[in-house]
Structure 1
Amino acid sequence: MRIVGVMSGTSVDAIDAVCVEIQPSLQAGAPLQVQLLGAKTRAYPPQLRQRILEIAGGEALTLPELNRVDDAIAAAFAAAIADVAAGRPIDAIGSHGQTVFHRPPSGDRLGYSLQLGRGEAIAALTGIPTVSNFRAADIALGGHGAPLVPRIDALLLRHERERRCIQNIGGIGNVTLLPPLSSSEAVVGWDTGPGNLPIDLAACRLSGGKLSYDKDGRWAASGTPHHPLVDEWLEGEFFQQRPPKSTGRELFSAAYLERCLADCAAAGLSDCDIMATLTELTAVSIADSYRRFLPAPPDRVALCGGGIRNPYLVQRLQDHLDPIPVVTTAELGLDPDLKEAIAFAVLAYLRLHQIPGNLPSVTGASHGCLLGELHGDKNRHNVPQLLALC
């Protein structure tokens, strides 16, 4: 099957779209073969991105406004799909949508997660069957609905003998532990905490809005981390909580940053030291979660997500994990910038083949289940309308 996977992460940087061809593998232990045919990144219109950030930040909105933003995101996703489809016949779309709210389960209360950019609108705009709303079924079974990518990591990146951690550093960080194929140990994973989000928010705040991120980690690299503050922040409830666990902007928000900045001011830190300390929080929170919650250290850590473009952050993580080698998923044969979008193409493939897409050992759901809702006519392909979106 030829499937387009499309998503935008917590940082709301842009929409990533990939076109992949997926087929069962003839090789034992490798259930799927995934060939990347094309990839495109499409920026949100600036006003729409700003509105998404406001909504994700907790700003109130009316139901008509929610509908308008929902449809605008769907249209932006459809345009990204048109970019990557490039006239190719497409069998299906797997769309993660744009997360604007995520609440983990607590006690007897089910979790809740809202992704805008409704699949039925994408299916109508493109004329291609669309699978969306991937998190809801897992949440209904008591799970977190996150992270979902570990299922795909297990399908594509597990090794016969090597024990691997696949660490995504997006706005939020999440990890997948992949035991060797020869082991009976379960695949596990969880959100490790902040990724790029507090660093990006601080860059914007401290630069007076001139910067949206710390390019190459240069600002942080010019400072010195304040380790006592990092240790204090790591005493927070989320970092102490055992997996399964998930988080998002609701916790690591602008309000969280303001509390961190107040602590930094009390400690007399300069702006470059603040950036170094927040970057250190991301690196240490990842390494600390490994020590706390992994049954045994990995043989290798492979990174993906936007954080790989911050050499200072990657080096700090390597320092904290030494002597475990830290590489990117490119060394394992999977593009680290596109892995998340590829994952939702594969999740759509699983849904279309009636194969459970969640891992209860990761999400905490009571059992495996089909993920995603299917929209559109599987026999209808509106190529002219799709091309018109470009």
Structure 2
Amino acid sequence: MAAATQQPHQRFIGLMSGTSLDGVDGVIADFSDDGRLAVIGHASADFPAPLRAELMALNTPGDNELHRAALAGNGLARLYAGVVAQLLANTGTAPDAVAAIGAHGQTVRHRPLEFDGTGYTLQINNPSLLAELSGIDVVADFRSRDLAAGGQGAPLVPAFHQALFARPDAPVAVLNLGGISNLSLLPATRAPASTATLLGFDCGPANALMDHWCQRHLGQPFDKGGRWAASGRVLPELLARLQAEPYFAKAPPKSTGRDLFHPDWLAGHLGTATWAPVDVQATLAELTASTCAAALQSYQKESELLIVCGGGALNGHLMDRLRALLPGVQVQASSEHGLPPQQVEAAAFAWLARRTLRREPGNLASVTGARGARVLGAIYPA
């Protein structure tokens, strides 16, 4: 691997539109020479309804997909460019003061290791158009290099979580609750505990199914604060059906997405039952909380701190259920540890873009199952 090169700028932008499909979050971050970051600006944008509908539709097979995906990538790049412009304006930053934009793209298929032993992961994006519109170098396509090395390509945030949240004297768990939930299990960094292996994996659905059910029955994009779920009762029979999904019992490394946890998966478990919609919502929330709690208890039961980020950290009912299922564990939003929940993943891709420019690896083989550390991403010069 080539030696790390010093970059003339220490300011990076990170952009993330996750599996929840609720919009784009962007941050602009200053990095010190030793890699510590300070977020100096945050901006977000909702998906225009037609673009959101198209991105949702592209999660499943359909007609004329290549054409539709290309146009959706253009639309997403323009939305990204708008968030970048907002970040620059809000912080008084000139484009040439930003070293690069880390632009994740929108995952529409994730099938690692399947079909031919390598599989694929597909993030819709047009980084060339984003570079053209923003006048800033863009780093994109972060996941495929890990797949090429035999990995899952996901999750990628545990390395960032380690840099941001790890403690010298105690293990820490970090839970991201986006459309899908993923858990980072960070060992204490001080020897001899530092010999422990860092793990990270997708637990299962977080907001994806709850948002779908809320949209279907209330006409709302999400259950604000989890209040609708909190007003229902958990259905033990349905919960048991959902928890029987083989993915939950699978050992890491593992990752998942809407390829598995989609509305038809839920409909298949509901069958012809006539449960009250509010009780189904309560059960979906319990599925998220119970699978995440079980994962923590299985793989890092000694952890006394769980830091929660992503949109689910703003769901009071979900946070309450995690606390109830994890007695003795402090369950806290990431805002109590220096970074608001909606900024963590975007900041992670600013961090990963910096790693790419410095020719430093961005994956963790213990997390993804890859054959080793790899430099991630492709660079699109402005």
Q: Aligning the two structures, in what range does the TM-score lie when normalised by the shorter sequence?
A: over 0.9
Aligned-partner residue type, residue 115 of structure 1: Q
Which consecutive residues of structure 2, in runs of 5 or more, have no partner in the other structure? 1-9
* 8 Å CA contact retained: 1:111, 1:143: no
- Within 2, Cα distance between the matches of 1:175 and 1:344? 17
Aligned to 1:382: none
Counting only pairs closer than 5 Å after superposition, residues 170-319 of structure 1 correspond to structure 2 as 170-182=178-190, 183=193, 184-207=195-218, 210-262=219-271, 266=273, 268-292=274-298, 294-319=299-324
Residue 10 of structure 1 aligns with which residue?
A: 19
Asked whether the 8 Å contact 1:172–1:192 carries over to 2, the reply is yes
Aligned to 2:150: 142
Structure 2 residue 170 is the aligned partner of structure 1 residue 159: no
Q: Distance in 1 between matches of 2:295 and 2:368?
A: 16
Between the two proteins, what is the percent identity of the paired residues?
Answer: 37
Is the 1:202–1:257 Cα contact (8 Å) retained in structure 2?
no
Match of 1:356 in 2: 361
Amino acid at match of 1:226: L
Deviations 1:305-344 (A, max 9, x none): 0011211111111111112110111222222110000000
SS in 1 for 2:129: helix
The residue that corresponds to 1:61 in the other structure is: 64
- Give the conservation status (yes or no) of the 8 Å contact 1:290–1:297: no
> What is the aligned partner in structure 1 of residue 76 from structure 2?
73
Cα–Cα, structure 1 residues 160 and 62, in superposed 2: closer, same or farther, change >3 Å?
Answer: closer
Match of 2:342 in 1: 337
Q: TM-score, normalised by structure 1?
A: 0.90
| Equivalence for 1:322 | 327
Report the AA paired with residue 322 of structure 1: P
Amino acid aligned to 1:204: Q
Aligned position for 2:108:
100
Cα contact 2:238–2:270 (8 A) shared by 1: no
Which residue in 1 is equivalent to 2:37? Answer: 34
Kept in 1: contact 2:363–2:373 (CA 8 A): yes
C-alpha contact 1:77 1:117 (8 A) present in aligned 2: no
Residues 309 and 174 of structure 1, relative CA distance in 2, 3 Å threshold: same
DSSP 3-state at the match of 2:108 = strand
Q: CA separation in 2, counterparts of 1:152 and 1:59? A: 35
Deviation track 1:163-197 (CA, whole Å, cap 9, x = no partner) reads 11000000000000011111211211000001011
Q: Secondary structure at the match of 2:341?
A: coil
Q: What is aligned with 2:7? A: none
State which drifts further: 213-222 or 277-286.
213-222
Secondary structure at the counterpart of residue 338 of structure 1: helix
1:275 is paired with a residue whose SS is helix
Structure 1 position 296, deviation (Å)? 3.7
Alpha-carbon separation, structure 2, partners of 1:335 and 1:63: 36
TM-score by length of 2: 0.92
Give the superposition deviation at 1:290: 2.0
Tell me how far 1:295 sits from its aligned partner.
Answer: 4.7
TM-aligned CA deviation for residue 63 of structure 1: 2.6
Give the paired residue count.
365
Matched, 1:365 2:363: no
Point out the more displaced range, 67-76 or 172-181: 67-76
CA distance in 1, matches of 2:379, 2:40: 23
Residue identity in the other structure for 1:320:
L
Equivalent-residue separation in structure 1 for 2:316 and 2:48 (angstroms): 29
Report if the CA contact (8 A) 1:71-1:121 is conserved: yes
Q: Hey, what does 1:132 align to over in structure 2?
A: 140
> Residue type matched to 1:138 in 2?
D
Change (3 A) 1:260 1:67: same
What letter corresponds to residue 42 of structure 1 in structure 2?
A: A
3-state SS in 2 of match to 1:337 = helix
Shift of 1:104: 2.5
1:387 aligns with none
Q: CA deviation at 1:107?
A: 8.3
5+ unaligned residues in a row in structure 1: which ranges?
A: 26-31, 378-390
Q: Distance in 2 between matches of 1:368 and 1:69?
A: 32
TM-superposition CA deviations, 1:62-93 (whole Å, max 9, x none): 43332211111111111111111214132211
Name the counterpart of 2:48.
45
Structure 1 position 23, deviation (Å)? 1.8
Bigger shift: 331-340 or 188-197? 331-340
1:216 and 1:64 mapped to 2: Cα distance?
38
Q: How far apart are 1:61 and its partner, in Å?
A: 2.6
1:2: Cα distance to partner? 0.6
Distance 1:290 1:231 in 2: 19
**In 2, Cα distance between equivalents of 1:248 and 1:65:** 21
